[in-house]
Amino acid sequence: MAYEFLNLEQEGAVAVVTINRPAVLNALSEAVLREIESAFDTLAADAGVRAIVLTGAGEKAFVAGADIKELAAQTPVSGRETARRGQRLFTKIEQLGKPVIAAINGFALGGGCELALACTFRFAADTARIGLPEITLGILPGYGGSVRLPRLIGKARAMEMILTGKPVTADEAFRSGLVNRVVPAASLVDEAKAFAADLAAKAPIALRYAMQSVERGLEMPVPEALELEATFFGLVASTADMREGTTAFLEKRKPVFKGE
């Protein structure tokens, strides 16, 4: 389908979603969020798509935050509902079952940072700036930032970013574990797509269960997490992909996984 605020392309098994509002630094209005949800619903249902790259149009911003005009009009009731809608969407991306790589090509602030946090991996251009500046507007993160950030980089560092509102550089984000890689801005999307293509060649069922084992296991006591891992291991042991992978190894050839 055609989108007003997104570009959606596919290269082999890799889809590239570009938020396309460069004039307002790709700000997340309600209309943009609806289109992102529609696009990810479509990609989740498409077996031909095995990995996704998410980025922003232009050279300045991945997503510079929410639409401030819409924020300024919030009431207590609408504010809570707005936050819950955004949280549900970002959780959907986090639990998509397919790896999503955020290619952070500039500012990732507020909702943009929270969107990146919901992705499986984060690649940052060396020019990127990442932060949660909501406190400077008299509010706090509402799309999962205060939940995901401390789980990713630890309480102390997350508290500093949230309470000061100051963004960090790409190198600082890498040192804290906030991003996986820092690359030259000119090659950011190409490197993210190459990484996505490598993931897309893996067994998709095993990939999905491995992601679930990590995400769900982090919230469980260790004995329960181990039981979950064993269950997932048993499930993938029944797949044709498992037989293909082990046979290919023994035959010293590259496996061809079909998601079966």
Per-residue pLDDT of 204-226, as tens digits, reads 999 999 999 999 999 999 999 99
Q: Where are the alpha helices (DSSP H) in the chain?
A: 30-45, 68-72, 76-94, 111-118, 145-153, 155-164, 170-176, 188-200, 204-217, 222-236, 240-250
Domains of the chain: 6-200 (3.90.226.10), 204-250 (1.10.12)
Residue 123 pLDDT greater than 90, yes or no: yes
Annotated catalytic residue: which of 37, 94, 114, 172?
Answer: 114
Question: Which pLDDT value is given to residue 71?
Answer: 78
Over range 23-39, report the average pLDDT: 95
Question: Which pLDDT value is given to residue 2?
Answer: 84
Distance, in Å, from the CA atom of 258 to the CA atom of 205, rounded to the nearest integer, reads: 9
Catalytic, 114? Answer: yes
Annotated catalytic residue: which of 4, 70, 134, 215?
Answer: 134
Which structure tokens are listed for 123?
């690649």
What share of the chain in percent tops pLDDT 90?
Answer: 92
Residues 6+ apart with CB under 8 A from 73: none
Question: Which pLDDT value is given to residue 66?
Answer: 78
What tens digit of pLDDT does each residue of 65-85 get? 877 778 778 888 988 999 999
What share of the chain in percent tops pLDDT 70?
Answer: 100
**Type and span of the H or E element at 62:** strand 61-63
Helix (H/G/I), strand (E/B), else coil: 140: coil
Locus of tokens 């952070």: 104
Catalytic, 227? Answer: no
Distance, first Cα to last Cα, the chain: 28
